[in-house]
Amino acid sequence: MSADAARLALSEIVGEKWVEVEPFASVNLLSDWTNRFHGRPLAIVKPADTAEVSAVLKWANDNNVPVVAQSGNTSLVGGGTPTADGKAVLLSLQRMNKVERIDAVNDTMVVDAGVILQKAQEAARAHGRLFPLSFASEGSACIGGCLATNAGGTAVLRYGNTRDLVLGIEVVLADGTVLNMLRGLRKDNTGYDLKHLFMASEGTLGVITRAVVKLFPLPKVRFTALAGTPDVRSACELLKRVKEAAGPALTGFELMQAKCIERVGTEIDAVTVPGDVSGAPWWSLIELSYSREPEGHPLESVLEKAFEDGVAVDAFLAQSEKESKSFWAIRESIPSADAHVGGNLHNDVSLEISEIPDFVEETLTALQKRFAWVDPSVFGHLGDGNLHFNVGSVPAPLAFENEEGIRETVYERVAAHNGSISAEHGIGQLKRAHFLELKNPAEVAVMVKIKKALDPKGILNPGKLLPD
């Protein structure tokens, strides 16, 4: 199909103003967040609502035109980047950006797929509620992408992944059929729970247009600490002890190499490191949150016992909300600090928490043995078993020049420990070959059958996740 024919047909659906063909004005939509993947679509279309999405998909399906849906374009794996062959329509959901309704009694919020995550958080907060999904790119990432990848973040330990925060969705299938499942019910056993098919499907089964998400009471008090441990195994032991002492008040438990913190202090002027962290090679960022003031400092007794037992060797306790935010700023600034010194290869892996100490030790050893110049940057969500095992080098280009060998080394150890090569970022284009190599073939076969049932012509997000 020619670009002019696509432009005319799509303009009848959404209006001429909201359709682009080459030369594209919205060039920022054509490359992924890491600037690694670059697309050249047949056209860019920006629908205003679900009815227009439905009409666009029906037209595309009738004319065998591939469609790549995109919301915030913050994918780290090229999941929302259009193909480069000039055949696909890029369907941008950015105009669909309304927070439609907040029910403070039912603790639910209805949001469009194009709502920026931070805007959703702020809308909930204005009603005295918390929408707990939170991660570094929340100022740009949108709800649709969060659902399509089942995004995680820093509060999974207490509140769960994105899918755990969703009660209902609205999704448009490849042929334009609208599945309206926007129910704010916490119990509904009327057949298959179809919404879970579409979350983490990366836009290959349908286009999510709206969602009903869960809200929670706003925490009134939080306690934050940085605790240094002699090794990762001690950090896991500290996690176990804090869980036992704090129960559901434990909101976050992040792990960082000391050198990650030091690099932030050196490279990011706006972030303050609370002191010398060289006394411990690993640091845990711990946060507890409460709806009312507890008696005493709930972390002090746990840390005191940890010091006595050699589980922890140093600690900083936040003395104010400002200091608490500064601790989190360290954790969130690690990728930026790494970028300042040349960047690294991102590996978003998950393992059973009990497997993490051996995995980290083995993988660091294997990388050092194979690549003497390797410079790993290891941090992540220890509380839910998700590590960002990023690998750079000195000098910087060597890691990128040896990407396949580095990923092979990391993924071999992930597989040996029965883990996953994608905890929260998705598969997209970047990890598809490794995913198809490592995933149980029977599981992939079932996924392909589902794909063929819902998208028989294969128009949705080609080249991502599943085999062609």
Bridge partners of residue 386, in order along the sequence? 350, 381
Let me know whether 104 and 203 are in one domain: yes
Bridge partners of residue 38, in order along the sequence? 31
25 located within any domain? yes
- What was the pLDDT predicted at 424? 95
Let me know whether 380 and 410 are in one domain: yes
Let me know whether 41 and 76 are in one domain: yes
Let me know whether 84 and 171 are in one domain: no
Let me know whether 198 and 142 are in one domain: yes
- Helix count and strand count (H, E) for the chain: 16, 18
Burial class (CB within 10 angstroms; exposed 0-12, middle 13-18, buried 19+) of 183: middle
Cα–Cα distance measured from residue 109 to residue 215, given in angstroms and rounded to the nearest whole number: 7
346 located within any domain? yes
The pTM of the full predicted model, rounded to 2 decimals, is 0.94
144 located within any domain? yes
Let me know whether 134 and 211 are in one domain: yes
Tens digits of residue pLDDT in 274-296: 999 999 999 999 999 998 888 88
Q: How far is CA 393 from CA 37, 82, 302, 345, in A?
A: 22, 30, 37, 10
**CATH number of the domain that residue 9 is part of:** 3.30.43.10
Tens digits of residue pLDDT in 159-211: 999 999 999 999 999 999 999 999 999 999 999 999 999 999 999 999 999 99
Let me know whether 315 and 346 are in one domain: no
Domain extent for 387: 342-425
Cα–Cα distance measured from residue 124 to residue 219, given in angstroms and rounded to the nearest whole number: 13
Nearest to 378 by CA among 283, 278, 239, 277: 283
Cα–Cα distance measured from residue 434 to residue 421, given in angstroms and rounded to the nearest whole number: 8
- What was the pLDDT predicted at 297? 85
Let me know whether 69 and 106 are in one domain: no
- What was the pLDDT predicted at 57? 99
188 located within any domain? yes
- What was the pLDDT predicted at 25? 96
How many domains are contained in the chain?
A: 4
273, 306, 336 — which closes off a domain? Answer: 336
217, 244, 263 — which closes off a domain? Answer: 217
Let me know whether 154 and 257 are in one domain: no
Let me know whether 245 and 276 are in one domain: yes
458 located within any domain? no
202, 217, 232 — which closes off a domain? Answer: 217
- What was the pLDDT predicted at 468? 84
Let me know whether 200 and 229 are in one domain: no
**CATH number of the domain that residue 249 is part of:** 3.30.70.2190
**CATH number of the domain that residue 398 is part of:** 3.30.70.2740
Q: How far is CA 351 from CA 19, 76, 143, 162, 235, in A?
A: 44, 20, 26, 18, 15
* Side-chain half-sphere exposure of 82, counting CA atoms within 13 A: 27
Give me the average pLDDT of each 10-residue run along the chain (468 residues): 96 98 96 94 98 99 98 96 96 98 98 98 98 95 98 95 98 99 97 97 99 97 97 99 96 98 98 97 98 88 97 97 97 96 96 99 98 98 98 94 98 98 96 96 98 98 95
